[in-house]
Amino acid sequence: MASRIEPPEKHTGQETPPGSPAPEIGAAPTPITQPQSQRQPEPQPGPESGPGYIQGIIEPDNFSDTDNDSLLGDASYTTSITSSAMNYQMVADIIRTMRPNDEQEQDRLDLSHHIYRMILKGELHAAPIKNPARVLDIGTGTGIWAIDFADEHPESEVIGNDLSPIQPSWNSPNVRFEVDDFEAPWSYSQPFDYIHGRELEGFIRSHHRLFQQALENLKPGGWMEIASIEANCFSDDDTHLRATSMKTAVRHMHESAKRFGKNFDTVKTRRSQMENAGFINVREDVYKLPQSPWPKDTKLKELGRYHQINMIEAMPPYCYALFTRILGWNRIEIEALLAGVRRELRDTSLHLYSRLHIIYGQKAV
């Protein structure tokens, strides 16, 4: 039977069972496995994520309290914040779509894709799909996932949709991109074998409607997979309680997003909402994702370096867009808060991690 995820307050992790194969790309935190729906027989587990994994604690490196291990220096942080503050068009775009689309953000989305591949040990999905003929990637962003999937599955027809036409024009012949809003009514003439969505937290007004539309547009036996990094910070040793700037930023991001009509805190209910929509064999895997290179394990440390950059690049544009337009903050207040956030992300005595949720379910045959 799958191990039960502990409430967030307990902040415990999972331990990889002996004899697990070494990952090809980086290292993946072991998933915290959620119970599955019992309405159908259990599906085959995805890559390196099966029931029975026991949660464990990530061991920190033996840094002194003053050690800071970061890929970015102060100049890079300052440049990131300044560009986010001055690009007012990007700020307006975030308010409209809740996602910036400038070159820096596109690079960050590609970095996020690399982080997911490390988490999934080189794979592009967790759902147990086999030779899907038609694949849909909703909110495709730069299109990097759709392109990689099309390259690895030349037999598949892959469609990616997004509000912003920022995908490359040169692609494999089996992938195409559409400017479309996945929250609008879908009008596809043929159903899909697999529907994929990633990093859509805060972009979905109605999960019930999204899951219903996905179910209606899946073939019998087809799968939907949706994944997001939870907008929060945790630790196994309560050091996150010292990350006061990060906690303040996260609290105000949730507050302002809700006032804008979006929600950054829906990932924890997606599994139940997917089941309520009619999906079967629903599974949720939750991974610990270090927010800086504090772990002792060298591969987890590498993952922490990438996610540290991911966090640093993501925070300024969202904070500027939401805090200025929704909360009425000024630039000095935001920069002071972000300065504290980046100090905490560089402080390896703070053993911060994010929780990455991957949820997937199947349409009944």
Cα 318 from chain centroid?
15
Given a cut of 70, whether residue 187 has pLDDT beyond it is: yes
Output the pLDDT for position 283.
Answer: 96
Spatial separation of the C-alpha atoms in residues 236 and 364, rounded to whole Å: 39
Indicate the SS3 state at residue 289: strand
The arithmetic mean of pLDDT across residues 351-362, rounded, is 96
pLDDT in tens, 91-126: 444 444 555 556 767 777 789 999 999 999 999 999
168-180 as b/e: b if 16+ CB within 10 A: eeebbebbbbeeb
Mean pLDDT lowest among 89-103, 242-256, 309-323:
89-103
Output the pLDDT for position 6: 35
Q: How many helices (H) and strands (E) does the chain have?
A: 9, 8
Average pLDDT, the chain: 80
Hey, what amino acid is at 97?
T
What residues contact 271, with CB distance under 8 A and at least 6 apart?
34, 282, 284, 359
Q: Is the pTM of this model over 0.85?
A: no
Rounded to whole angstroms, how far apart are CA atoms 119 and 355? 12
Whether 86 shows a pLDDT value over 50: the answer reads no
Q: Point out the least confidently predicted range of 83-92, 165-174, 300-309, 354-363.
A: 83-92
Q: Determine phi and psi for 260, rounding to 5 degrees.
A: -80, -10
Task: Give pLDDT, residue 101.
Answer: 55
Residue 350 has pLDDT above 70, yes or no: yes
Burial class (CB in 10 A: 0-12, 13-18, 19+), 7: exposed
**pLDDT reported for residue 29:** 53
How many angstroms separate the CA atoms of 344 and 338, rounded?
10
Q: Which residue has the higher pLDDT, 54 or 201?
A: 201
pLDDT of residue 115: 94
Instruction: Kindly tell me if the per-residue pLDDT of 275 is higher than 60.
Output: yes
pLDDT in the model for residue 54:
29
The pLDDT score that the predictor gives to residue 100 is: 54
Q: Are 233 and 314 in contact (CB under 8 A)?
A: no
* pLDDT confidence tier of residue 202, bands split at 50, 70 and 90: confident
Beta bridge partners of 135: 158, 194
Residue 138 CA: distances (Å) to CA of 123, 147, 169, 242, 334? 18, 13, 18, 37, 32
What's residue 110's pLDDT? 85
- Domains in the chain and their CATH numbers? 69-119+130-362 (3.40.50.150)
Angle formed at CA 100 by CA 316 and CA 201, multiple of 5 degrees: 85
C-alpha to C-alpha distance for 254 and 276, rounded to whole angstroms: 25
Residue 62 pLDDT class (50, 70, 90 cuts): confident
| Model confidence at 336: pLDDT above 80 | yes
DSSP label of 188: -
